[in-house]
């Protein structure tokens, strides 16, 4: 597609019509057949369908403790797609929903415990609250500023074109320059209408955060000079074992910019009566492996015992 060999809409043609019978397609892919027919007026049993890449899942996210889902910010808990680390670089199909159940429960329990044990309320200076309110309402006061939807569209295009499925360093460097330019444009957004049910205003509030997340993704992908899971570097196509032991952590530097640090992955620690579930999982896997290694000798001993019993 980047080489200009894509479809007019920037996708590729997927042709199953020439490979499978119409009956097979209707039987095995009923919803796909139905959707293409109803929404695009394309009969996939007779012609090729136009498809394109899109974002399916975000593998990175808020850094959390695996047992409690607590983030570094006291009182903040994150579970589900917003939390990072659970799936490594490649989520297996279908397990996001079980992740939500397991880690949502842990987060709920830990958040309840936190709420029960903390004393007093967080005190915020009035001036900080007034500043936050002024910043949130600023897009109503700017006249002639930019439409948030235009900036969102440009951010989407930048991330799609330059930090997409297959990435290279020059592309991501260009993306970071464009993100910096978008940050300046976000400072001058205008929204119309009222505060009630105003999606344009909500987008204006979300955009600064979307830019931070996009910058984190681009910076981390630029730093990771290898290919792994959903991260493919055209300029570093091999998987590098060194990177399998390293996480990249983005945080806010004092000047407001995104700081990137490398952090070793937590390993399996020795057992203790107060082992966490992660440690217990490591121990369990270790014990299983030892059992597997000893299995042939054990079977031999059991067989010999059976034979002795039989003779007796
Ligand atoms: C096309 C597609 C197919 C998928 N198929 C599968 C599948 O078959 N199996 C599977 O396991 N996973 C699948 N997934 C992944 C799975 O659906 C998601 O990972 C999962 O739904 C994420 O759940 P979540 O609760 O973490 O986040 P979300 O479902 O994204 O929930 C976040 C919620 O927060 C709300 N929100 C956002 N901002 C604010 C704000 N400022 N204030 C208040 N609320 C806010 C949003 O409106 C949303 O309701 C699929 C994903 C896609 C895109």
CA-based max dimension of the chain: 99
Q: What is the CA(57)–ligand 1 centre distance, in A?
A: 9
Nearest-CA residue for ligand 1 atom 22 is 81
Q: For residue 271, what pLDDT band results from cuts at 50, 70 and 90?
A: low
Q: Where in the chain is the domain with CATH 1.20.58.100?
A: 145-266
pLDDT in tens, 54-83: 888 999 999 999 999 999 999 999 999 999
Percent of the chain predicted with pLDDT > 70: 90
69 conformational bin, left if phi > 0, alpha if psi -120 to 50, beta if neither: left
Does the pLDDT of residue 159 top 80, yes or no?
A: yes
- Spatial separation of the C-alpha atoms in residues 293 and 298, rounded to whole Å: 10
Asked if residue 92 has its Cβ within 6 Å of ligand 1, the reply is no
pTM here?
Answer: 0.82
The CA 81 to ligand 1 mean position distance, Å, reads 7
Beta carbon of 81 within 6 Å of any ligand 1 atom:
yes
**Which CATH number is correct for 145-266, 1.20.58.100, 3.10.450.50, 3.40.50.10800, 1.10.760.10?**
1.20.58.100
Ligand 1 centre to CA of 29 (Å) is 24
Radius of gyration for the alpha carbons in the chain, expressed in angstroms and rounded: 26
* Between 207 and 274, residue with greater pLDDT: 207
Please identify which residue in the block is written with the tokens 């047992």. Answer: 67
Identify which has the larger pLDDT, 251 or 295. Answer: 251
Which tens digits make up the pLDDT trace of 78-111?
999 999 988 889 888 889 999 999 999 999 999 9
Q: In this predicted structure, what is the pLDDT of residue 283?
A: 55
d(CA 206, CA 72): 22
Q: Where are the beta strands (DSSP E) in 140-279?
A: 166-167, 232-233, 246-252, 258-264
Write the CA distances from 4 to 10, 13, 49, 119, integer angstroms.
9, 14, 18, 61
């Amino acid at each position: 597609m980047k080489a200009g060999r894509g479809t007019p809409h920037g996708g590729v043609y997927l042709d199953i019509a020439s490979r499978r019978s119409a009956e097979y397609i209707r039987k095995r892919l009923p919803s796909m057949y139905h959707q293409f027919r109803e929404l695009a007026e394309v009969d996939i049993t007779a012609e090729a369908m136009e498809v394109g890449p899109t974002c399916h899942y975000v593998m990175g996210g808020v850094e959390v403790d695996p047992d409690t889902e607590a983030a570094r910010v006291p009182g903040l808990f994150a579970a589900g797609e917003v939390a990072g680390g659970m799936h490594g670089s490649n989520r297996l199909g279908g397990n996001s929903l079980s992740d939500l159940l397991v880690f949502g429960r842990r987060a709920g329990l830990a958040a309840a415990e936190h709420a029960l044990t903390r004393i007093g309320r967080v005190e915020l200076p009035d001036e900080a609250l007034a500043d936050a309110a002024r910043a949130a309402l600023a897009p109503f006061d700017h006249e002639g500023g930019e439409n948030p939807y235009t900036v969102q569209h440009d951010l989407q295009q930048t991330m799609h074109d330059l930090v997409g499925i297959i990435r290279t360093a020059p592309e991501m460097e260009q993306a970071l320059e464009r993100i910096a330019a978008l940050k300046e444009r976000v400072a001058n957004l205008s929204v119309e209408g009222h505060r009630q049910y105003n999606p344009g205003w909500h987008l204006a509030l979300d955009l600064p955060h979307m830019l931070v997340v996009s910058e984190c993704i681009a910076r981390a992908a630029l730093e990771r000079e290898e290919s792994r899971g959903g991260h493919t570097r055209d300029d570093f196509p091999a998987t590098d074992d060194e990177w399998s032991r390293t996480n990249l952590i983005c945080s806010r530097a004092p000047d407001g910019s995104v700081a990137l640090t490398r952090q070793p992955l937590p390993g399996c620690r020795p057992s203790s009566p107060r082992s966490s579930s992660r440690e217990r999982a490591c121990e369990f896997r270790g014990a299983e492996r030892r059992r597997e290694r000893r299995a042939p000798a054990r079977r031999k001993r059991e067989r010999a015992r059976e034979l002795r019993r039989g003779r007796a």
